[in-house]
Structure 1
Amino acid sequence: MTEPRYDVIAIGNAIVDVMAPASDELIEELQLNRGGMTLVDDVRARELYDAMGPAREISGGSAANTLAGLSALGAQCAFIGQVAQDQLGEVFAHDIHAVGIDFDTPPRAGAPSTARCLIFVTPDAQRTMNTFLGASQFLPADALNEEAIGGARVLYLEGYLWDPEEPRAAMRRAIETARDAGREVAFTLSEVFVIDRHGDDFRALIDDGLIDILFANHLELAALTGEDDMEAGIAAIKDKIPTLVVTRSADGAIATRNGERAEVAAEPIDEVVDTTGAGDLFAAGFLYGHVKGEPLETCLKRGAIAACEIISHYGARTEVDLKALMEKKLG
């Protein structure tokens, strides 16, 4: 097998995040799904944007956030995702190139516009996300860079993008390409509602041995396995997946790998400002350790450090030298 060109290549939603502080009263007035993620159409997205206070715009999307964290740590990364030929599409491409990630998916002409996520952050740091998927849900299989997929150590797939039919077919093809090249496939379950809609697909991928690394939080694990008890959920699938990573918010994280098990506590933090991207950056830290061949516990610690940094400020992109922070924390 040739030496990989990339550490991680990811397929995900190409989204621009629009973030603003919000009161609990505004969340109630707008009848939002507090602390969750809701898909909205273009009309609703415009309505919510008009109701927002002063906002910050930054390129996002779950898998893209993970790659940004990986790139900050020094990993070589590439992204596959669909934007439109519009201003937000240009913003997304600029931002992802600016953090050192290769991105060459051609923009899509015509409607719909580039995807955007309207994020309302309440005083308790919970983020309420409202996502218009726009162009991102029309990623065709023929837009895949199969040479790049075959030249990456890990193919990382975002569960959110499994919902639309066209990118779901593209991701299935990408899995085949990675498998044919002898590469690993990592999958993040993303959200409980995605499992409610596509759990049978995910369980089939696991049963067929097509997932090497699975990321889930404790709620997603319960939805996937049907086991409310976390330990029972882990027991139900740990032998089907070479590496299983389960995050538990403030209670830390657990991972199993080929019969080995490790646990870490959450990193201490003075104030949680915004939980947007916590899971994405946890995956970044973990995957960095994984591709570097580090022990399982070290991979988890890297994930916890990255997640702690991201929740200390607004937005899902790091605001400090993440590599230096890791070196300081890990010694």
Structure 2
Amino acid sequence: MGTGPAGRVDAASSDGRQYGTEVLVVGAYYADLVFHGLSRPVRPGTEVFARGFDILPGGAFTSAMAMRRLGHDVVWSTDFGTDVFSEQVLAATRAEGLDDTGFRFHPAPVRSVTAALSSPEDRAMVSYQDPVAQYPLAAVLHEHRARLVILPQLFYGPDVHAALRVAHELGTKVFMDCQDVPCTLETPTVRQILAQVDIFAPNAEEALRLTRAPTLNAAIDILAGLVDTVVVKRGGWGAIAVRDGQRCEIAAVPVDVVDTTAAGDCFNVGFLHAHLAGHPLRDCLATAVACGAAATSALGSSAAPDLTELPQWLARVSHARQV
């Protein structure tokens, strides 16, 4: 054992490497303005009333908080300002006991806001972010020396490509979500970056758009040729995971859906929780589905399960089918 950055305690992994923290989350906070219980879809020129409304912490907060609830050592690298939304999310991080050594504070507003229009089937979102100078990803990776880094969207560009090389030099495993990022595999550096990602977790629509494949199976095959582990979220149709030629499928958990806003992030956290424990692919996928389902049972990420709640959700998951 030794002392890492900011007085953190280093822990040796099974491969003998020394890490400063177990999990590093890199990404912006969002204050989610959640309108739920919509009577009909929202279309231009119309007004729709929701049955409920709340303001909840979201964005990368969800990944950091949900990993913390499942007992992991987490550092969240993000930016806050002087605005009311920063203040609200900061209060939530303190209530959850999140480590603040990765926070950067700015003497001006850093507003990150999403209006989420949530229905039981899906949600639409409108977002806004104040511009803020990005702290280099490579520097964050060097500073915290994590066992695993969670990137909550598909970051790309030469700086990201270089930073992921740093991650692998440090022995840091890279998890990347996709989100609604306007790029394809033909966008410069995207293909090269995915080749450096250990686990990639788009939803079905994102996988199709990114690959421009005619079918989801074709998209999964393309992505599996680039990334060690591909996990595809399919909402009410469950999920698919592929690793080393092994493919698992699992059905969704029946649940009375309140809000789907944080389901994808909680799904990711469930997969990573089991992955870090060394569980096989089918168990990682089952844990992912359990955590994603739990998140839909309340607004935002408020129902992300902790270690005492996870077993009851896992008991509701069907066995993964290996194909």
Give the aligned partner of residue 155 of structure 1: 149
1:142 is displaced (CA, Å) by 8.2
Partners of 1:31 and 1:9 in 2: CA distance? 42
CA contact (8 A) 2:138 2:162 kept: no
**1:48-92: CA deviation from partner (whole Å, max 9, x where unpaired):** xxx98974222110x321222211111111111122223322222
Say which structure is richer in strand: 2
Using the size of structure 2 for normalisation, the TM-score is 0.81
Question: For the structure 1 residues 147 and 102, does the alpha-carbon distance in structure 2 shift closer, same or farther, using more than 3 Å as the test?
Answer: farther
Partners of 1:318 and 1:300 in 2: CA distance? 19
Give the aligned partner of residue 325 of structure 1: 309
**1:12-52: CA deviation from partner (whole Å, max 9, x where unpaired):** 122111223364568225679x9xxxxxxxxxxxxxxxx98
Aligned residue runs from structure 1 range 1-331, under 5 A? 1-21=16-36, 23=38, 27-29=42-44, 55-61=53-59, 63-103=60-100, 104-111=102-109, 113-122=110-119, 124=120, 126-135=122-131, 137-141=132-136, 144-150=139-145, 152-159=146-153, 162=155, 171-172=160-161, 174-191=163-180, 193-195=181-183, 199-206=187-194, 209-269=195-255, 271-318=256-303, 321-330=305-314
CA contact (8 A) 2:207 2:219 kept: yes
Q: Unaligned regions of 5+ residues in structure 2, if any?
A: 1-15, 316-323
Say which structure is richer in helix: 1
**1:222-246: CA deviation from partner (whole Å, max 9, x where unpaired):** 1122212111111122132111111
**1:201-226: CA deviation from partner (whole Å, max 9, x where unpaired):** 322212xx311110111111111222
Higher relative contact order (CA 8 A, sep 6+): 1
Give the aligned partner of residue 44 of structure 1: none
Q: In structure 1, the residue corresponding to 2:69 is in which secondary structure?
A: helix
Partners of 1:176 and 1:118 in 2: CA distance? 35
Using the size of structure 1 for normalisation, the TM-score is 0.79
**1:229-273: CA deviation from partner (whole Å, max 9, x where unpaired):** 11111112213211111111111111112232222111121x222
CA contact (8 A) 1:149 1:174 kept: no
CA contact (8 A) 1:77 1:102 kept: yes
Give the aligned partner of residue 12 of structure 2: none
Partners of 1:31 and 1:305 in 2: CA distance? 36
Partners of 2:206 and 2:78 in 1: CA distance? 24
Percent identity over the alignment is 23
1:329 is displaced (CA, Å) by 4.4
Partners of 2:199 and 2:66 in 1: CA distance? 18
Q: Which amino acid aligns with 2:207?
A: L
Partners of 1:306 and 1:78 in 2: CA distance? 21
Between 85-94 and 67-76, report the one with greater CA deviation. Answer: 85-94
Partners of 2:278 and 2:248 in 1: CA distance? 15
1:169 is displaced (CA, Å) by 7.1
Partners of 2:276 and 2:229 in 1: CA distance? 13
Aligned length, in residue pairs: 299
